[in-house]
Structure 1
Amino acid sequence: MSETRTSAAETATANHWTFLTNHAHVLIVLHAQPDLVLREVAGRVGITERAVQRIVQDLEKEGFLQREKVGRKNHYEVRTTESLRHPIEAHRTIGDLLKLITG
């Protein structure tokens, strides 16, 4: 019988709902470590690499994230001055959210 290892993020998301979306989680991770490969982001967020790729595409398309090719890797810059999307929080920026979460 093989033992399956589960990350803390996978355990948290499998058993409980969270206040932030996976889009927010991806932004938080990439803001903290802008040179991570998306496979590593997926592991930290607890979702598939393909889901992270779709989220990054969404975030780039809407102007919340900028990707720069550096050699064979990507470097990500979170656009912290952009406003949050929902009308309830549109008076706040991505930077405000990141400060709240990361201190």
Structure 2
Amino acid sequence: MDRQTPEWGFLTNHARVLLAISHDPAIRLRDIAAACRITERTAQSIVSDLEQAGYLSRERDGRRTRYTLHPEGSLRHPAEAHLPVRRLLELFTHRPNRC
């Protein structure tokens, strides 16, 4: 099997960032970037996208940022728009009904 970097993947960086935050709501941007294998600037941009779309909110807690997910929102693609984000989180975090 060839171990080269694949040209495409099943999850977007937005989904990966959302999943990283779901695992640790107090995660730092640098840790999000490392976990998702993206730059900190990209991680910051994606977090802003997710916040503007209503998937999460963030608030300062001292020197750290704490994220709150809003999993009642729908997935964005028209083919999956009937599914709540909660379903994606449950699938990849193995924590049903925890959000």
- Pairwise TM-score range, normalised by the shorter structure: 0.7 to 0.9
Aligned to 1:84: 75
Can you give the 5+ residue segments of structure 2 that lack an aligned partner in the other structure?
95-99
Task: Give the structure-2-normalised TM-score.
Answer: 0.87
Where structure 1 has 5 or more consecutive residues not aligned to the other structure, the ranges are: 1-11
Shift of 1:72: 1.1
SS of alignment partner, residue 78 of structure 2: coil
TM-score (norm 1): 0.84
Matched residues, number:
91
Q: Which residue of 1 aligns with 2:5?
A: 15
Offset at residue 69 of structure 1 (A)? 0.8
2:12 aligned with 1:29: no
Distance 2:24 2:57 in 1: 14
CA distance in 1, matches of 2:22, 2:69: 6
Distance 1:67 1:43 in 2: 20
Q: After the TM superposition, which segments of 4 or more aligned residues of structure 1 sit over 2 Å from their partners?
A: none
Question: What is the letter of the counterpart of residue 19 of structure 2?
Answer: I
3-state SS of paired residue (1:66): strand
